[in-house]
């Protein structure tokens, strides 16, 4: 199996590449990644030299490049993770989210159709469902109701992928997962940002009242779900992934502080995110029953391990939080308190 994996230098992509090379000894994985601010070749450095892995720097919006790559590498299937992935950036500057997430996905779908792939795994998100109130859960039939330019762009690409299945018979499977945590996550997202700030005794910027709820899943459990959906998913079907670990943002931030032995006085309430979704919660019954998938990590233990990973890999995130990151941080948090 020759797989084209887009976005492999990012957080989930790099964890997935590592899992695939470990668990599927007859697979070859070709990573296509533009190396935007969020892509980091260092995340895959240990795989260099493996004959079953190749890295190509390039943009998924470039149809010629993608088609040529698929032909040259004899690509059988696509795992599509490349995206602009941060909600706050989509509020500051939405255009690139349309370019990459919508247009880029359509380019890939078109090439996949031309080449005749056996599987197109489209990695969507639970954010396409919008926000829940105090009760209820997202199932695969919950109507899409995205709130941010990010989630609207993901909903567009999700529907495009399903349309290619229905119209052209492309063997598409779509996955919608809840919030991931674990190693190699870019420190603009809640958990790594709070760890990096706490380790430097900087304020931890909690949006609004801190009572928004996310349903956390370890990245390795998500990666195993993606593999299960890729191998055992039915064409044209959607699968939700989540680990039933709902926590308020404030609970998360306080747990991070406890793990690091830092005081709660570091918590700083700041102006809320625009259009901030209140609560996400996933019903993953379909993935459990149809794919035989189940999460393996317990949130409290795995959060502790994750905090330790960032403590032990300080040079990794310190290199990232310079340059472009500093300009983003100032724009996002400078005038917010």
Catalytic positions, written as ranges: 126-127, 150
Q: Minimal CB distance to ligand NAD: which residue?
A: 10
Task: Indicate which single residue of 59, 126, 220, 246 sits in contact with ligand DAU (rule: CB under 6 A).
Answer: 126
**CA pair distance 17, 28, nearest whole angstrom:** 10
| DSSP summary character for residue 43 | G
Instruction: Order the strands of the 28-33 sheet from edge to edge.
Output: 53-57, 28-33, 2-6, 77-80, 119-125, 172-177, 237-241
Is residue 207 at the binding interface for ligand DAU, with CB under 6 A as the rule? yes
**CA pair distance 129, 145, nearest whole angstrom:** 5
Kindly tell me which of 207 and 316 has the beta carbon lying closer to ligand DAU. Answer: 207
Kindly tell me which of 113 and 273 has the beta carbon lying closer to ligand DAU. Answer: 273
Encoding tokens for residue 291?
Answer: 């794919």
- 43-82 mask for ligand DAU (x: CB under 6 A)? ----------------------------------------
Task: Indicate which single residue of 15, 90, 101, 125 sits in contact with ligand DAU (rule: CB under 6 A).
Answer: 125
Kindly tell me which of 84 and 277 has the beta carbon lying closer to ligand NAD. Answer: 84
CB of 113 to ligand DAU, least distance (A): 26
User: Which of ligand NAD, ligand DAU, none interacts with 36 (beta carbon under 5 to 8 A by kind)?
Assistant: ligand NAD
CB of 176 to ligand DAU, least distance (A): 9
Piece in contact with ligand DAU (CB under 6 A), picked from 105-113, 156-164, 201-209, 221-229 = 201-209
Strands (E), the chain: 2-6, 28-33, 53-57, 77-80, 119-125, 172-177, 180-181, 204-207, 213-215, 217-218, 237-241, 246-248, 267-270
**CA pair distance 196, 272, nearest whole angstrom:** 21
CB of 26 to ligand DAU, least distance (A): 31
CB of 315 to ligand DAU, least distance (A): 22
Encoding tokens for residue 308?
Answer: 């330790």
Kindly tell me which of 118 and 271 has the beta carbon lying closer to ligand DAU. Answer: 271
**CA pair distance 158, 150, nearest whole angstrom:** 12
| DSSP summary character for residue 271 | P
Encoding tokens for residue 152?
Answer: 């609207």
User: Which of ligand NAD, ligand DAU, none interacts with 172 (beta carbon under 5 to 8 A by kind)?
Assistant: none
CB contact at 8 A, 47 and 16:
no
**CA pair distance 19, 318, nearest whole angstrom:** 26
Query: How buried is residue 58: exposed, middle or buried, by Cβ count under 10 Å (0-12/13-18/19+)?
Result: middle
CB of 55 to ligand DAU, least distance (A): 22
CB of 243 to ligand NAD, least distance (A): 12
Contacts of 141 (CB under 8 A, 6+ apart): none
Give the largest Cα separation in the chain, rounded.
57
Piece in contact with ligand DAU (CB under 6 A), picked from 39-47, 163-171, 200-208, 321-329 = 200-208
Closest to 27 in 3D by CA, of 5, 62, 4, 1? 1
Kindly tell me which of 162 and 206 has the beta carbon lying closer to ligand DAU. Answer: 206
Is residue 297 at the binding interface for ligand DAU, with CB under 6 A as the rule? no
Torsion sign, CA atoms 98, 102, 103, 108: positive
User: Which of ligand NAD, ligand DAU, none interacts with 259 (beta carbon under 5 to 8 A by kind)?
Assistant: none
Is residue 214 at the binding interface for ligand DAU, with CB under 6 A as the rule? yes
Question: Between residue 149 and residue 178, which ones bind ligand DAU under the rule CB under 6 A?
Answer: 178
Is residue 85 at the binding interface for ligand DAU, with CB under 6 A as the rule? yes
For ligand DAU, the binding residues (CB under 6 A) are 85-87, 125-127, 178-179, 189-190, 193, 205-207, 212, 214, 249, 273, 280
């Amino acid at each position: 199996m020759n797989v084209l994996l887009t976005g492999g230098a990012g957080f989930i992509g790099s964890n997935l590449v590592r899992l695939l090379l470990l668990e599927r000894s007859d697979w070859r994985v070709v990573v296509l990644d533009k190396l935007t601010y969020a892509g980091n070749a260092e995340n895959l450095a240990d795989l260099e030299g493996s004959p079953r892995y190749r890295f190509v720097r390039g943009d998924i919006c470039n149809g010629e490049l993608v088609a040529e790559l698929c032909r040259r590498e004899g690509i059988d299937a696509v795992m599509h993770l490349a995206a602009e992935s941060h909600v706050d950036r989509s509020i500051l500057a939405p255009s690139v989210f349309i370019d990459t997430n919508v247009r880029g996905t359509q380019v890939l779908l078109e090439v996949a159709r031309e080449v005749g792939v056996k599987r197109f795994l489209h990695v969507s998100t639970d954010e396409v469902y919008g926000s829940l109130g105090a009760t209820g859960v997202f199932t695969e039939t919950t109507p899409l109701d995205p709130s941010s330019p990010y989630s609207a762009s993901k909903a567009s690409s999700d529907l495009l992928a399903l349309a290619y299945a229905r119209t052209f018979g492309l063997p598409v499977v779509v996955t919608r997962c809840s919030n991931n945590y674990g190693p190699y996550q870019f420190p603009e997202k809640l958990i790594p940002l709070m760890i990096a700030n706490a380790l430097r005794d900087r304020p931890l910027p909690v949006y609004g009242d801190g009572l928004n709820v996310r349903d956390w899943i370890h990245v390795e459990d998500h990666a195993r779900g993606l593999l299960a959906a890729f191998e055992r998913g039915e064409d044209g079907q959607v699968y939700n992934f989540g680990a039933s670990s709902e926590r308020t943002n404030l609970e998360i931030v306080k747990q991070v502080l406890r793990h690091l032995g830092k005081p709660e006085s570091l918590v700083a309430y700041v102006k809320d995110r625009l259009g901030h979704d209140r609560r996400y919660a996933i019903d993953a019954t379909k993935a459990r029953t149809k794919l035989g998938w189940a999460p393996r990590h317990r949130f409290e233990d795995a959060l502790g391990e994750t905090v330790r990973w960032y403590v032990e890999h300080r040079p990794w995130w310190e290199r990232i939080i310079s340059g472009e990151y500093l300009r983003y941080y100032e724009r996002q948090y400078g005038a917010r308190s």
